[in-house]
Amino acid sequence: MDIKQLSSLLVKVAGIVLIVYAISGIPNNINSYLFQGKDTAINFAVWVIIPVLFPFLIGMAMWKFPTIITNKVINGVSNEVEGNTFRELELIALTILGLVLLFFALSDITFNLIYVWATNQVNNSPVSALLISPEDWGHIAGTFVEIIFALVLLFRSKGVIGIIKKFRE
């Protein structure tokens, strides 16, 4: 098994993780839908279908097309297994982890923003006077930190590998 095959396998596994994550979130999403109080098809789509749909579709794409991601991540890397193989695998794993975290964060921020909007609609607040509770601010701020962390893993994986290497020495 060469590096590209192993990388494709890891991308497929990450896709399965995303699919499982999406499906496991359905009960919480249904609970949120029932709690918000308006039983309409649009609210069901916003509270249940949309938060599940994006991670599910991305997971399916990762499962069906792992070589596209693999070729972007390890472009120009030799297929032969050599001394730097472990470093290459760490780079691939961190990049995939960053991708997974980014999709989780994007799903979370979508949910948080829709939650704030829907809560204000239920309370008949005008959109210009959005009322955001301290707890909601915490969720939104935490999600932005998660997005920044995911982007660092995605685009600065070589730097993260360097930090890990320094800690090992």
pLDDT tens digits for range 107-142? 888 888 888 777 777 767 565 566 777 777 777 887
- Give the length of the chain: 169
Which tokens belong to 162?
A: 């360097």
Euclidean distance between CA atoms 18 and 22, whole angstroms: 6
Give the model's pLDDT for residue 9. 82
pLDDT tens digits for range 17-76? 888 788 877 777 777 777 766 777 887 887 788 888 888 899 899 989 998 888 877 766
pLDDT tens digits for range 16-33? 888 878 887 777 777 777
Euclidean distance between CA atoms 53 and 24, whole angstroms: 12
Maximum separation of any 2 CA atoms in the chain, in Å: 63
Residue with tokens 């980014």: 102
Give the model's pLDDT for residue 25. 76
Tally of structural domains, the chain: 1
Give the model's pLDDT for residue 43. 78
Domain containing residue 29? 3-168
With the C-alpha atoms ordered 32, 38, 43, 48, is the resulting torsion angle positive or negative? positive
Give the model's pLDDT for residue 140. 80
